[in-house]
Amino acid sequence: MATEYDLVIIGGGTGGYVAAIRASQLKMKVAIVEKAELGGTCLHRGCIPSKALLRSAEVYQQTLHADEFGVQVEKPSLDFTKVQQRKQKIIDQLHQGVQSLMKKGKIDVYQGFGRILGPSIFSPMPGTISVEYSDGKENDMLLPKNVLIATGSRPNHLSGLEFDHNQILSSDDALTLETLPHSMLIIGGGVIGIEWASMLNDFGVDVTILEYQDRILSTEDTEISKEMSKLLTKKGIKIITNANVKADSVKKDKGVSLQVDVNGETQAYQADKVLMSVGRKGNIENIGLENTDIVTEKNLIMTNEFYQTKESHIYAIGDVIGGLQLAHVASHEGLKAVEHMAGHTVDKMDITSIPSCVYSSPEAASIGLTEAQAKENDYEVKVGKFPFKAVGKALVHGESEGFVKIISDRKTNDLLGVHMIGPHVTDMIAEAGLAKFLDATPWEIGESIHPHPTLSEVIGEAALAVEGNQIHG
């Protein structure tokens, strides 16, 4: 006997559970099938736990430098066990909150593995969901009008270099460390690699980043990448670019040693542990895609602009479809997919209106086109930049490194991109996001009154600087 639903969602991560809530608001009968915990990677193995650790690292550094603020602290020390306990407490509290939201929305949650079946006695179309249980319990059969695949992703690894979960770590493994190593090699200088490098360095770990490309944070504006490299190096992090790790050279004993080809020269590196941060891989295996006409490429599900697969009643969102693999992107994709199912008019998501954040120290955040991308798209650009060192609140905070850079179209004055590096920019990028959504110009941002003294003044000044009208610089 199959239970009928308007929508069954495979995966209860950020994209999946947000979509479920919206579907419930639209009066759909909804179920989520989740093999592990509601909240998925973001809540349990990504966004939240990593930011909890980053916050502890930040507080530790603030304590070490308290004397600069006239506060005397005798020999501060780090209790990493308590750091991990605090992280888990935050996860548990948020997990309970998600569970409560499911109850509030009358959303059925099946704790099992969801698999899509082909045409069967239950339906002439692919889409019946078989829920399989690890304890041997008989499968449940769910018969939905629509299916949403939100199975997320997992850490990728270099070819020939597998995770051993002890010395060769994924970001999942690093989150569960019981003690900190003395040294860490981080393969990959993207967002996750930079956040871990910053965090571990702030905890007192000797960190070396090995980046294959010619700069870290290669998707960010070149000036942001250059500034981040400068500031991380100043903190004592070693950054090696154009570094091609030779997987067959890895040797493990008490630590890990490996060889790297850097601009044609072989260099040797050694550390207690290695953290591989080389992207993520979509979770598409064993969910029954072979029973459908759904098209996949490079371990990702192909969809149209409304997140429909080749099977029009089966949608997919989040990391499993590629693009910007960010939790807030998955959430909004889920909202749009559900509204499309419900027959609402849905606008295509504008990739240039999606903010991206790096929660390192210093932080970085951006939205829209980089200067290079704008020029590649044949825009004639105007650029305004303003440094944090000219903002009073940044000096008060003791964090005056970095700047805000605003890019606009010289012909139309349209806002093309905003790029930030410095204190609390991951919070401040929301102003740029709203400006982008409302199609504001730099002039309008500059004319809006930013309260004094605040860090947000740097945005107003950078906007005025597009026309050379900044006040304090």
CA–CA distances in Å: residue 193 to residues 279, 314, 374, 448: 10, 34, 27, 36
Set 65, 165, 182, 452: catalytic member: 452
385-417 as b/e: b if 16+ CB within 10 A: bbbbebbebbeeeebbbbbbbbbbbeeeebbbb
Is 452 catalytic? The answer is: yes
Residue 421's closest CA among 399, 402, 395, 393?
402
String of DSSP letters for 71-127:
----S----HHHHHHHHHHHHHHHHHHHHHHHHHTT-EEEESEEEE--S-SS-SSS-
**DSSP symbol at 217:** S
Q: What is the rounded CA–CA span in Å between residue 41 and residue 44?
A: 5
Element (H, E) at 225: helix 222-235
Task: Label the pairing between strands 280-282 and 273-276.
Answer: unpaired
Q: What is the rounded CA–CA span in Å between residue 443 and residue 441?
A: 5
Residues with catalytic function: 452
